[in-house]
Amino acid sequence: MAADEETLLALLNSAGRPTDELADPESARRWLREHKIPARVEDAATLREGRDLLRAVVRGERPPRALAPLLAGVVSRPSIGADGLTWTVDLHGARAVLVDAVIAWDELNRTRPGRLRPCANDECARFLIDRSKSNSARWCSMATCGNKLKARRHYRRARGGEDTAE
Ligand SMILES: [Zn+2]
């Protein structure tokens, strides 16, 4: 997985565990370190705002245009080297993280539409990037959501109940 995709997914999922990882300085510090996010704890509020916009757009609750504030005033600077052009965004900290996340989101939309989606467990607020050939992944994690729902269905079948979606 590309580093930016990993960051995008980590950012989206920082709100769904079920607590908000960025809500208090201590967990924000831990989260930033754990995911190697180049931002300061003081930037957590900015990250949280941007993350909530991204979450709403990925869920289809807001149009992509809602991300415009994250890109306001962003300038990309080209430089040339042995391998050709490199584009650098002159930003640091939370704003750079959010711009990279928007770029990763856009790239996913273009190259693998629909692959970034909410977990199929209604009680889960996390997202997944489906990399399977069949595009059939449904859970953010088989170990948590996948097995939990399977167990519930099994229980219901054993009782003779309906095997319907939650
Ligand atoms: Zn889940």
Where in the chain are the domains?
Answer: 3-111, 119-166
Q: How far is the CA of 109 from the centre of ligand 1 (A)?
A: 21
Where the chain has pLDDT below 70, the residues are 1, 17-18, 149, 155, 159-166
The per-residue pLDDT for 166 is: 44
Paired tokens of 38: 């180049």
Q: How far is the CA of 146 from the centre of ligand 1 (A)?
A: 7
**Cα distance between residue 14 and residue 8, in whole Å:** 10
Give the environment of ion ligand 1: residues with CB less than 5 A. Answer: 119, 121, 124, 126, 140, 145
Q: How far is the CA of 49 from the centre of ligand 1 (A)?
A: 22
What pTM was computed for the model? 0.83
Q: How far is the CA of 124 from the centre of ligand 1 (A)?
A: 5
Give every CB contact of residue 151 below 8 A, 6+ residues apart in sequence: none
Q: How far is the CA of 138 from the centre of ligand 1 (A)?
A: 8
Q: How far is the CA of 82 from the centre of ligand 1 (A)?
A: 44
**Cα distance between residue 64 and residue 53, in whole Å:** 9
